[in-house]
Amino acid sequence: MFKKALKQTALLLMTLILLAGIVLWTPDKSRVELENAYGSSKNNYVTALGVKIRYQDTGPSQNPIPILFLHGFGSSLHTWDAWTKELGGEYRVISVDLPGFGLTGEDPSGIYTDQRSVEVLEAFLKELNIPKVVMVGNSMGGKLAWQFAAQYPWQVSKLVLISPDGYSSPGAEYGKKTEIPAIANLYRYFFSKSFLAINLEPAYADPHTLNDALVNRYYDFMLAPGVRGAILARMQQTVLQDPVPSLMKIQVPTLLMWGEKDAFIPLSNSEDYLRVMPHAKRVTLPNIGHLPQEEQANVGLQALKEFL
């Protein structure tokens, strides 16, 4: 009798778990659906080192030194929309979906190290026949920007780092892979919009910035084909290295742009960069968080224009 009841209970639990999985399962959105929602005449694709990169290229094509925008972790080229629209009248502006994000999606190699991303970017510029750029990067994109500038100094005329990543922090030590909780592997199957919104909110000094349209855009691109798996792979493969030797190599004029209320990478981190980058200057942005290009686009844009 007890065994029979136990089997029935186990069967009921398995049924409930299965039903919960069916209800909560979050499949990828189709590329066609995302292209229809976010595609435009500006969208282009080019293959570099086997990666089919989505990018937008606007503004005067005869401009000899374009501006190249690199977004942060979990983002897409659309984070720069306000800036590219304003700058496009005067400058050639290129923004990309980095490997593993947006509609670029998966890197067929399965490699998502920083070095691989830098090499893909270098190949991307070769494919477009662009010998030199003004490189602008935010957060993870900032880390890739300074790594690129250190490795390919002749290809960068100016550098803009917006709350760049790269220095160690608790849980992210040099020479060690970041420990990823096992539950994170479930995100490729179950991923809620409310969970994403909770994690995005600290990026903004003013939480009202995170409106429904912005949450929907981030969520849609998180559900782009293969992106969640690629993001997990990048997290598992990332190993921080002491940035000082690379930063000391950079001789081009550099602007450090930092929101004073950045809760992700605090303003105090900018001192680390200023100590080792002799050609760097800092602009701080009051009442702005980690994403000035989204939160108060005009303020950050003005600082960028003055630097250019």
What is the layout of strands, in order, in the sheet containing 93-96?
A: 43-48, 51-58, 93-96, 67-70, 133-138, 156-162, 254-259, 280-285
- Who's near 268: CB < 8 A, 6+ residues apart? none
| Domain coordinates in residue numbering, the chain | 27-167+176-307
Q: Does CATH place domain 27-167+176-307 in 3.40.50.1820?
A: yes
In tens, the pLDDT along 224-244 reads 999 999 999 999 999 989 999
DSSP 296: S
Tokens standing for 173?
A: 């030590």
Confidence of residue 4 (pLDDT cuts 50, 70, 90): very low
First to last CA, the chain: 80
**Residue pLDDT, tens place only, 90-136:** 999 999 999 999 999 999 999 999 999 999 999 999 999 999 999 99
pLDDT digits (tens, 9 = 90+) for 262-286: 999 999 999 999 999 999 999 999 9
Distance CA 91, CA 98 (A): 21
Strand partners, 54: 45
DSSP states of 179-191: PPPGGGGGGGT--
